[in-house]
Copies of this chain bind each other. A is one copy, B any other.
Amino acid sequence: MGLGLGALLKAGGLAGTDYDSIVSINIFIALLCSCIVIGHLLEGNRWVNESITALVMGLITGGVILLVTNGTNSRILVFSEDLFFIYLLPPIIFNAGFQVKKKQFFRNFMTIILFGAVGTLISFVIITLGAMGLFKKLDVGPLELGDYLAIGAIFSATDSVCTLQVLNQDETPLLYSLVFGEGVVNDATSVVLFNAIENLDIGHFDALVLLNFIGKFLYLFFTSTILGVAAGLFSAFIIKKLCFARHSTDREVAIMMLMAYLSYMLSVLLDLSGILTVFFCGIVMSHYTWHNVTESSRITTKHSFATLSFIAEIFLFLYVGMDALDIEKWRLASSSPKKPIALSAIILGLVMVGRAAFVFPLSFLSNLSKKEARPKISFRQQIIIWWAGLMRGAVSIALAYNKFTASGHTAVRVNAIMITSTVIVVLFSTMVFGLLTKPLLSLLIPPRPGLTMSSQLSSQSILDPLLGSLLGSDFDVGQTTPQYNLQYILTAPTRSVHRLWRKFDDRFMRPVFGGRGFVPFVPGSPVERSAPESHLGTVTEAENS
Residues of A within 8 A of B (CB): 1-8, 11-12, 14-17, 22-23, 25-26, 29-30, 32-33, 36-37, 39-41, 43, 80-82, 85-86, 89, 93, 157-158, 186-187, 190-191, 194-195, 198, 238, 242, 244, 247-251, 253-255, 257-259, 261-262, 264-278, 295-297, 299-300, 303-304, 306-307, 310-311, 395, 399, 402, 406-408, 525-528, 530-531, 533-535, 537-538, 541
Contact = CB atoms under 8 A, between A and B. Distances in A.
A292 B505 CA distance: 42
A4 B195 contact: yes
**What 6 A-B pairs come out closest when comparing CB atoms?**
A2-B274, A531-B534, A531-B531, A300-B303, A17-B82, A2-B275
A25 B268 CA distance: 11
Nearest to A195: B4
Given A40-B244, A247-B43, A300-B304, A262 B15 contact: no
A252 to B, nearest CB: 9
Contacts of A29: 258, 261-262, 265
A110 B424 CA distance: 60
A261 B17 CA distance: 16
Contacts of A278: 2
A266 B26 contact: yes
A8 B265 contact: no
A25 B265 contact: yes
18 contacts: A3-B157, A3-B190, A3-B191, A5-B81, A5-B86, A7-B271, A25-B265, A32-B254, A33-B258, A36-B254, A251-B310, A253-B304, A254-B307, A254-B310, A299-B525, A300-B304, A304-B307, A527-B538
B194 A26 contact: no
Given A41-B242, A186-B1, A258-B32, A534 B538 contact: no
A530 B85 CA distance: 41
B537 A268 contact: no
Contact of A81 (B8, B244, B268, B530): B8
Contacts of A33: 255, 258-259, 262
A269 B26 contact: yes
- Taking each of A16, A267, A533, which has the highest tally of chain B beta carbons within 10 Å of its own beta carbon? A16
A197 to B, nearest CB: 10
Contacts of A402: 8, 12, 14
Contacts of A93: 2
A39 B300 CA distance: 22
B300 A307 contact: yes
Contacts of A186: 1
Nearest to A25: B265
- Taking each of A5, A8, A273, which has the highest tally of chain B beta carbons within 10 Å of its own beta carbon? A5
Given A299-B299, A307-B253, A268 B527 contact: no
Contact of A2 (B89, B296, B306, B525): B89
A169 to B, nearest CB: 14
A231 to B, nearest CB: 11
A273 B304 contact: no
A526 B5 CA distance: 45
Given A4-B271, A11-B198, A36-B258, 12 more contacts: A3-B399, A6-B269, A22-B269, A26-B269, A29-B261, A40-B244, A40-B248, A41-B242, A251-B310, A299-B300, A299-B527, A531-B534
